[in-house]
Structures are given as C-alpha cells and as structure tokens.
Amino acid sequence: MSPSNSSPTQLGNRLSRSLLQQDQWRTIVADLRLSPREEEIVKYIFDGLKETAIARALDISPHTVHTHLERLYHKIHVQSRCEVALRVFQTFLDHVDGEFN
C-alpha cells in the first residue's frame, strides 16, 4: 500500500516503532510519566500526524485530542508538537549511555 493510500493508523507509529524499540519507549513513557492515552498521542505526534488524523486513529474527537495535547504540553513543560518530539529524543539521549546499550 502506498503512503497516499495508508490510513492514519497504518502511518502512525511507523517512525516511532522504527527508531525506538518497545523497551526504549517504555522507559521514555515512565520518565515523562505519561498515561497510556498520552503515550499513544505522543507516538502519533512523533510520527507527524495532525490532530484530526490522531482523532480518527484513536476514534475520539479532534477536540478531545486538542485537550489531551494542551494537558500534555503542560505536563512535560513544552509549548508545541515539535517540542514534544524534542523532549522524546532528549529523554532517549539521557539513557543512551545507560540501560539502552
């Protein structure tokens, strides 16, 4: 299936799963103290999905995704989707010399 024909669910987590292993995600999620829903949303953000695509993938309204994002930004002290991705990478890098090797 070509990327233009892929659903948001098929596109989502593609990058997050190819760059970070499941145990690495578990450590990042624990360090950032994310709920299961926040984890899903962070992975979709990490993969570049917009709020409407995230809403479709999770079967929730775009407004609910927006609310989750606002709370997530506050929780991890960021102000944008880009900063969320940077925080994920920074958390990963904080562990590179430790348990991820």
Model confidence at 44: pLDDT above 50: yes
What does pTM read for this prediction? Answer: 0.76
Residue boundaries of the structural domains of the chain = 3-95
Q: What is the pLDDT of residues 49-82, one digit of tens each?
A: 999 999 999 999 999 999 999 999 999 999 999 9
Q: Which of the 8 DSSP states describes residue 43?
A: H
Q: How far apart are CA 1 and CA 44, in angstroms?
A: 19
pLDDT of residue 14: 62
Determine contact, residues 100/24, Cβ cutoff 8 Å. yes
The domain 3-95: what is its CATH number? 1.10.10.10
Six token digits for residue 56:
């479709």
